[in-house]
């Protein structure tokens, strides 16, 4: 026998209305502008039910009529879409040299974008710069910061709940202090979400890049630091302790650019294959003007045989790491990102080594998203979170 709790019968119609509104809102977000008839066909709901739900969503300010569809049999049909100004998302990328940020509306249109070189000497100064960057972006967008429905910060490191702090933060001095996380929360409020920067770039790759319509791929970033974002079965994977993708800690200490102090701090593979390691290897080999990894790659492209040997060694190290990923998770696609990962000719060099090393060969591509990939991923994650929050409010308003 089924026992119905008191009030359950009265609550059931309201619950059904809320579910219908959430379903319609999701379809409008993904497929709008869209008509009532099209929504009825997509959802299987009756036209009167669709009309009632749309009226409720209009009252809450989440959707509006954006025009009419003409030129088809029958009367002109009103078209519905989400109200872009129902909320705004802030995406921030905190790096050692640059801070980048952007604000988008709920339709995903970027309203303002800015990149500044950081002058901060410590974590608190860097947080102040992030706050200043946010204020500038809000002014350019023409909104108040209170209108931000979600803030997502792309940062090196992973969250450790035992310490209530970020750990494995690489080269950002003081960023792993509990005081840093507390100050970030104080500055950006309850809407703050922190995502690993490489994971954020992987999200951007899934939404805007080669990862679209690919269920499993690895985004491998090689540059100032080394990391990986792993998407399996269409979902970003963080692992039990948040360290899925921290391939900088693979125990590779090979190559003339390896630094044992870096290996202890940031992992063996990072010490052997990051941009700093490439510079160290080039200098030891006698490459002239090897002040940055970019200059080493440029020298190799000009025909400098010594620089080319350094680049070849780097490609072998990265191929070994990618081969390890292939044998563990067997992704359909591997995307190379970061300053080194996207360097001209590097994709071909890594692929050549992989053909020799790997038991199977996935598609391997270089990312085309550039330096704004972390911000783009933060915005995408923030939009999803914003819509989850707004959809959760459906039925509690109006």
Integer-rounded Cα radius of gyration of the chain: 25
Specify the long-range contacts of residues 64-69, CB closer than 8 Å, at least 24 apart: 66/32, 66/33, 67/33, 69/35
pLDDT at 2 over 90: no
167 has pLDDT over 50: yes
86-200+374-391 and 211-368 in the same fold: yes
pLDDT at 305: 97
Q: Model-level pTM?
A: 0.86
pLDDT (tens digit, 9 = 90+) per residue, 182-227? 999 999 998 999 999 999 999 999 999 999 999 999 999 999 999 9
- Distance, CA of 391 to CA of 254 (rounded, Å): 51
Nearest residue to 154 (alpha-carbon basis) of 89, 94, 104, 207:
94
Q: Are strands 192-196 and 148-155 parallel, antiparallel or unpaired?
A: parallel
What residue spans define the domains of the chain?
A: 8-82, 86-200+374-391, 211-368
Q: Which CATH superfamily is domain 211-368 in?
A: ATPase, nucleotide binding domain (3.30.420.40)
DSSP state string for 66-130: EEEE-SSSSS-EEEEEE-GGG-EEEEEEE-SSEEEEEEEETT--EEEEEEEE---SSHHHHHHHH
| 190-193 own/partner pairs: CB under 8 Å, 24+ apart | 191/148, 191/149, 191/150, 191/151, 192/151, 192/152, 192/153, 193/150, 193/151, 193/152, 193/153, 193/381, 193/382, 193/385
Number of H helices, E strands in the chain: 14, 15
Summarised one tens digit per residue, pLDDT across range 244-264 is 999 999 987 765 555 566 666
Per-residue model confidence as pLDDT tens digits over 227-242: 999 999 999 999 999 9
pLDDT tens digits, one per residue of 286-304: 999 999 999 999 999 999 9
The CATH architecture of the domain made up of 86-200+374-391 is 2-Layer Sandwich (3.30)
The domain at 8-82 falls in which architecture? Orthogonal Bundle (1.10)
pLDDT at 283 over 80: yes
pLDDT at residue 360 is higher than 70: yes
Spatial separation of the C-alpha atoms in residues 391 and 371, rounded to whole Å: 32
């Amino acid at each position: 026998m089924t026992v119905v709790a008191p009030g359950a019968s009265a609550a059931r119609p309201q619950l059904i209305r809320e579910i219908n509104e959430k379903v319609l809102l999701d379809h409008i977000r993904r497929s709008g502008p869209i008509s009532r008839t099209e929504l009825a066909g997509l959802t299987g709901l009756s036209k009167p039910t669709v009309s009632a739900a749309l009226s409720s969503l209009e009252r809450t300010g989440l959707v509006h009529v954006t025009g009419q569809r003409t030129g088809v049999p029958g009367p002109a049909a009103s078209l519905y879409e989400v109200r872009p100004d129902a909320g705004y998302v802030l995406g921030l990328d905190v790096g050692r040299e640059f801070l980048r940020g952007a604000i988008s509306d709920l339709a995903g249109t970027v309203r303002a974008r800015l990149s500044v070189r950081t002058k901060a000497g410590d974590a608190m100064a860097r947080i102040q710069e992030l706050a200043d960057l946010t204020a500038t972006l809000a002014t350019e967008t023409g909104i108040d910061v209170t209108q931000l429905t979600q803030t997502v910060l792309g940062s090196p490191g992973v969250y450790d709940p035992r310490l209530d702090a970020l750990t494995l933060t690489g080269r950002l001095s003081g960023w792993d202090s509990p005081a840093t996380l507390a100050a970030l929360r104080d500055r950006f409020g309850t809407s703050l979400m922190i995502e690993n920067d490489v994971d954020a770039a992987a999200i951007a790759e899934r939404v805007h890049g080669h990862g679209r319509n690919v269920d499993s791929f690895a985004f491998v970033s090689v540059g100032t630091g080394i990391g990986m974002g792993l998407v399996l079965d269409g979902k970003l994977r963080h692992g039990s302790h948040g360290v899925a993708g921290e391939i900088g800690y693979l125990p590779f200490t090979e190559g003339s650019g390896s630094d044992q102090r870096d290996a202890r701090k940031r992992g063996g593979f990072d010490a052997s294959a990051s941009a700093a390691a490439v510079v160290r290897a080039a200098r030891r080999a006698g490459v002239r003007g090897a002040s940055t990894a970019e200059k080493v790659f440029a020298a190799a492209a000009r025909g400098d045989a010594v620089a080319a040997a350094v680049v070849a060694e780097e490609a072998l190290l990265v191929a070994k790491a990618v081969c390890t990923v292939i044998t563990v998770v067997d992704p359909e696609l591997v995307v190379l990102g970061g300053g080194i990962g996207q360097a001209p000719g590097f994709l071909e060099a890594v692929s050549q080594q992989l053909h020799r090393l790997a038991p199977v060969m996935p598609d391997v591509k270089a990312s085309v998203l550039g330096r704004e990939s972390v911000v783009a991923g933060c915005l995408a994650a923030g939009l999803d979170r914003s819509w989850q929050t707004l959809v959760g409010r459906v039925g509690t308003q109006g």
